[in-house]
Structure 1
Amino acid sequence: MISLWNISLQEKISELHDDTWNIEINETIVEHRAARDWHQYISGSFAQFKCSLCRKGWGSKRVQVLFNFHLDTARNQGTIKVRRFKQKCRRCTEAQWEDPNFPVENIDVLVERLVRNIRIKCYREDLGQTNRSSVFNGRINGPHESAHCEACHKGVCSQAN
C-alpha cells in the first residue's frame, strides 16, 4: 500500500530543491501532537472499505487522512508520516476498524495537496489558491455515521454530526 503513496509522492515532489522525501504509514500519529519542527495537514477523500468479518463493502465520501511532515535541512531529508483513519462495519456487532482503500486517482490528489502544503510550510513558497477535487466513484446515500468513524472517535472528523 505504501508504494502507491510513495510513487505519487516521488512524481510530485521531484522538483523540490535537492531534498529527498520519504513517506510512511503511521497509525499512531494524532492531531495537534506533531513534534517540534513538524507540520501537520489534514485532508479528506473518497475511499472504499470491506468488513473483515461479513465481507460487506461500503464507500465513504470523506475519509480523513492526517499528515505529519518535517524537513531536516542539514541532511536534505524530508519525512512524512501518514495516518489513514478507519471505519467499522455497521452490520457487525464485533466489527473491527477497517483500513480505507483509496483509488489511485485520490491518492494522487491527496499527495498533490500535501506537496502544496510542504512547499508552503517548508520552503515558504507563495502558491496562491488552487483546489483539485477527489474522484468519487459510486453512489453514497445516508448521513455520516460517527459511531463507525475512527476520525470522529479521535476528534478529527470534519463530518461529525
Structure 2
Amino acid sequence: DMVSLWNSSLLKKTSDLHGDTWNIEIDETIVENSPDPNWYQYISGSFAEFRCSLCTRTWGSSRVQVLFHFHLNTASRQGTIKLRFYKQECKTCSAPQWEDADFSVNNTDVLVERLVKKIRMRCYGEDLGEANRSSVFDGRFNGPHESAHCEACRLGICSQGN
C-alpha cells in the first residue's frame, strides 16, 4: 500500500539520522500553515497519476502537492511525519469524487529525499544550503495541470511547493 511505499523509501534515506527512527503516517486532517509550534512544515510537488473511480479515466498531473508536517521527539528518539496528499477530480464526470494520487517509486524517492533534507536542516541543524538539486521525474514534468479540478489550487497552495 501507499504508506509502506513511502516508509520503505524513508527508511533508506534516514538510516544514518543520528540513530533516530522516523515514520510516515497519512493524516488528511493536517492543513497548511497551522502546524503545532513543535512541528515543522514542508510542501513539495511532483508528477503523479490519477484514476477516476466512476468512469475509470486516467490522467497525469505535473504538479501534485504533498503537505508534510514533521517533528522529532528527542527523548524517545522517534521522528513522526504526517503526510497529506492533495487530490484531484475527473474533469469529465458530472459529480466527480476527489481521487488519490498515484506516485511512482522514483517520484516518491525524490519527494522523500527532499523531505529528509528539510529534516536534516530543521531537526538536526545541518547546513545543507538551500539549493535544490535537479531531480529526475518519471513522466512529463510540465504536463497539463487542471487547476479547476485540483484540491490544492482550490485551497490556494498549489504554486507554493518546490
* TM-score under structure 1 length normalisation: 0.93
Q: Distance in 2 between matches of 1:74 and 1:141?
A: 45
Between 45-54 and 25-34, the greater mean CA deviation after superposition: 25-34
SS in 2 for 1:158: helix
Counterpart AA for 1:133: S
Runs of 4+ that moved beyond 4 A: 138-142
5 Å matches for 1:7-156? 7-128=8-129, 129-138=131-140, 142=144, 144-156=145-157
Counterpart AA for 1:105: N
Can you give the 5+ residue segments of structure 1 that lack an aligned partner in the other structure?
Answer: none
Counterpart AA for 1:62: R
RMSD: 1.6
SS in 1 for 2:16: coil
Q: Distance in 2 between matches of 1:46 and 1:140?
A: 8
Between 14-23 and 126-135, the greater mean CA deviation after superposition: 126-135
Q: Distance in 2 between matches of 1:109 and 1:4?
A: 13
Greater RCO structure (CA 8 Å; 6+ sep): 2
* TM-score under structure 2 length normalisation: 0.92
Compared CA separation, residues 46 and 69, structure 1 to 2 (3 A):
same
Can you give the 5+ residue segments of structure 2 that lack an aligned partner in the other structure?
Answer: none
Compared CA separation, residues 41 and 141, structure 1 to 2 (3 A):
closer
